[in-house]
Amino acid sequence: MPETEYQWSDRKRTLFGLPWSFTKYMVTVEKLLIRTGVFSIREEEVRLYRIMDLTLKRSFGQRIFGVGTIHCCSADKSTPEFDIQSVKRPSFVKDLLSDLVEQERDRKRIAGREYLMDDAEDDLDMHE
């Protein structure tokens, strides 16, 4: 099995912007992976076309150490909101993710209105 080519990867930065954590973020052309843990590892996968909104947050301390947090809202049922916390070059990462999300939506021919329709159908199913 060929090794996956990552468009970007980094670790969550902690004290002084150093990568001393057990959270790793990886982005391929199709998905975002968030791997946490040392002995017991959890890996969350979010398909890029499901990401609806990206917001960059940088506290004063994060700006001093050159890191930032990207808040993501997605149409993923198990992970509707999540943060890519304290990563280097956060503006670059946000722009890269935004571009990859659009490319993946174009490739799959998915428009934002399809998510609205899915939500409306789910609401109807719950009331029946």
Domain range summary for the chain, segments of one domain joined by +: 8-127
| pLDDT of residue 118 exceeding 60 | no
* DSSP secondary structure code for residue 89 in this structure: S
Note the pTM of the prediction, 2 decimals: 0.81
Cα-based torsion angle of the residue sequence 119, 124, 126, 128 in order, rounded to the nearest 10 degrees: -170
Give the per-residue pLDDT at 125: 44
Nearest to 86 by CA among 58, 49, 115: 58
Q: What are phi and psi of 99, to 5 degrees?
A: -65, -45
Give the per-residue pLDDT at 87: 97
Tell me the pLDDT band of 4, cut-offs 50, 70 and 90.
Answer: confident
Nearest to 68 by CA among 53, 87, 83: 87
Fold of 8-127: PH-domain like (2.30.29)
| pLDDT of residue 17 exceeding 80 | yes
**Range from 25-29, 91-95, 112-116 carrying the lowest mean pLDDT:** 112-116
Give the per-residue pLDDT at 2: 52
The predicted model gives 25-43 an average pLDDT of: 96
Helix (H) or strand (E) holding 126: helix 112-127
**Radius of gyration for the alpha carbons in the chain, expressed in angstroms and rounded:** 16
Query: Which residues are paired to 23 by β-bridges?
Result: 36
Tell me the pLDDT band of 18, cut-offs 50, 70 and 90.
Answer: confident
User: Which one has a higher pLDDT value, 27 or 128?
Assistant: 27
- Encode pLDDT of 45-92 as tens digits: 999 999 999 999 999 999 999 999 999 999 999 999 999 999 999 999
